[in-house]
Amino acid sequence: MKALPAKEGKHNLTNYEEAVEQFDWNSIEKELSWFKTGKINMAYEAIDRHAENGKANQVALYYSDARRDESYTYQEMKEYSNKAANVLKDIGVTKGDRVFIFMPRSPELYFVLLGAIKLGAIVGPLFEAFMEGAVRDRLEDSGAKVLVTTPSLLERVPFSDLPELKKVLLDDKSYNDQDSFLQLNSRLDDASSELDSIEWVDKEDGLILHYTSGSTGKPKGVLHVHEAMVQHYHTAKVVLDLKDDDIYWCTADPGWVTGTSYGVFGPWLAGVTNVVRGGRFSPTDWYETIQRYDVTVWYSAPTAFRMLMSAGDELVKKYDLSSLRHVLSVGEPLNPEVVRWGVQVFDQRIHDTWWMTETGAQMICNYPAMEIRPGSMGKPIPGVQAAIVDDKGNELPPNRMGNLAIKEGWPSMMRAVWNNEAKYKTYFELNGWYISGDSAYMDEDGYFWFQGRIDDVIMTAGERVGPFEVESKLVEHPAVAEAGVIGKPDPVRGEIIKAFIALREGYEVSDDLKEEIRQFVKNGLAAHAAPREMEFRSSLPKTRSGKIMRRVLKAWELDLPTGDLSTMED
């Protein structure tokens, strides 16, 4: 597909080359209040600062779902997050404590998240679809002290395994307190909307933990710190192109990094009106959301765009989506086909952005004032140095495929893998380059092109799934002797999860057994982690040390040569 010319109009970033050349992180910091005061707190910077500087009556949050329809000004967000902070303070939350939030999107989720941050606590948002195993891993590893959840999600919280968890707040007006299980809502009502004092923290103090998957081991807790705001703010300006009067909608749930970095921090640091739509994906709901709020800037993901595409162009025509002025995507490769569709139906280029949980914020992006080459992730944000390096950390020339790497030291970089210093170090072993795990190349004009994951991590419908977690869950099922899991290419979801399974003696393949195994993973981990396809074999290819060789499974699946089998067991 042909390149799409730069977009006309006034953008926050007008000349990319010049911005890169003149860039200085210090000048970004100067736009934030702590540059003057030396006092930093993300929640203050995102909410209170605006409430105190002329935006008290501007809507900060529009929230709607099937039952609720509400809006909150910056002043109200300040007050409600103060209330949440007071509720948490009352039950003993102090700086550095881990406060986990496991609930569907709702205004309360955002109050609690901001309130916890006001106390200097480290927040851990969990996606509502997580089942017991996934919830246990995260609460156990983080040593969460407080959990905020709903009564219906409680049964997925294995309290007997979580001695550090001291208090649970329940978001349900009809809930009656029982011991350490307390109703959140009445406490919010009763709490003061003034907070004695925000916990001013150091820019290196912990802010948020997002658990994410690798190809081996359990999910790891990626820790971000308050200084990340510098990059959230910078990218909200130059990539999201946010201006004061924008109505912005990021479709991601705060259980994933996109839903916090760009569903909470970025837009509110930039002082815009933020739209949150609760409930599940639905094309009619989504178009209606854009129409109803006159959304101007919209950030979503390739799988969602592909699903909208398959819902048909006729549907689009039923809505007035003319408010849109800037559309962006993240999470997986954005197919040129989708970009073409965006131009056709919305008259908008969809701007691809590349980043990861670990990078904390956007890194390689397409900008409104730049020519788009459909299929390319764009160019590094001003202030970030990206390169393609070989396995020794040497930079490769244009058009050579290699490791997509980032020069260490950007503000939103993760600062730790929780409880796992050794794992953290492995990211930075090559000459000061952060190794992303993605392979890519850069063309002669500096555009980056995604090629694939180097490890076995699966991206399904934009969600990152570690094959090891799924395999571990599968072998817990009594019928499963061995399991190997791969991502199989899929036109809508990017990849789907396919499991190769060897059954134990005495078990026979049947549709019932397949369904039972699928449900077992779904109920143990999460629906998105359950295999959509299963194939049964008498045994699976393994290395001599007993590791399942996923690359051989993948070669079987795709009908490719299996490559070097010298490490395979006889």
List interacting residues with ligand PRX (CB under 6 A). Answer: 212, 257-258, 330-334, 352-357, 377, 436-438, 450, 453, 459, 464
Residue for token pair 């006729």? 314
DSSP string, 448-477: EEEEEESS--EEETTEEE-HHHHHHHHHHS
The residue (of 64 and 353) whose beta carbon lies closer to ligand PRX is 353
The residue (of 237 and 464) whose beta carbon lies closer to ligand PRX is 464
Q: Are strands 206-212 and 220-225 parallel, antiparallel or unpaired?
A: antiparallel
The residue (of 305 and 354) whose beta carbon lies closer to ligand PRX is 354
Closest separation in Å from C-beta 367 to ligand PRX: 14
SS3 362: coil
Long-range contacts of 418-427 (CB under 8 A, 24+ apart): 418/141, 418/142, 418/209, 418/220, 418/221, 418/222, 418/223, 419/141, 419/221, 420/220, 420/221, 423/217, 423/220, 427/358
Closest separation in Å from C-beta 462 to ligand PRX: 7
The residue (of 265 and 520) whose beta carbon lies closer to ligand PRX is 265
Residue 181 DSSP class: E
Closest separation in Å from C-beta 402 to ligand PRX: 15
Tokens read off for 22: 């003149």
The residue (of 340 and 514) whose beta carbon lies closer to ligand PRX is 340
The residue (of 494 and 541) whose beta carbon lies closer to ligand PRX is 494
Tokens read off for 436: 């992303």
Residue for token pair 């294995």? 158
Structural element, H or E, at residue 75: helix 74-90
Closest separation in Å from C-beta 390 to ligand PRX: 18
Closest separation in Å from C-beta 453 to ligand PRX: 5
Given a contact cutoff of 8 angstroms between Cβ atoms, the answer to whether 258 and 299 are in contact is: yes
Q: How far is CA 135 from CA 100, 129, 218, in A?
A: 10, 10, 12
The residue (of 149 and 258) whose beta carbon lies closer to ligand PRX is 258
Ranges of H-type helices in 119-183: 132-142
The residue (of 77 and 386) whose beta carbon lies closer to ligand PRX is 386
The residue sitting closest to ligand PRX, measured at its beta carbon, is 357
Closest separation in Å from C-beta 411 to ligand PRX: 16
The residue (of 240 and 377) whose beta carbon lies closer to ligand PRX is 377
Ranges of H-type helices in 254-384: 257-260, 266-269, 283-293, 302-311, 313-317, 336-346
Sheet order of strands, 448-453 included? 386-389, 402-407, 433-442, 448-453
Tokens read off for 280: 């599940």
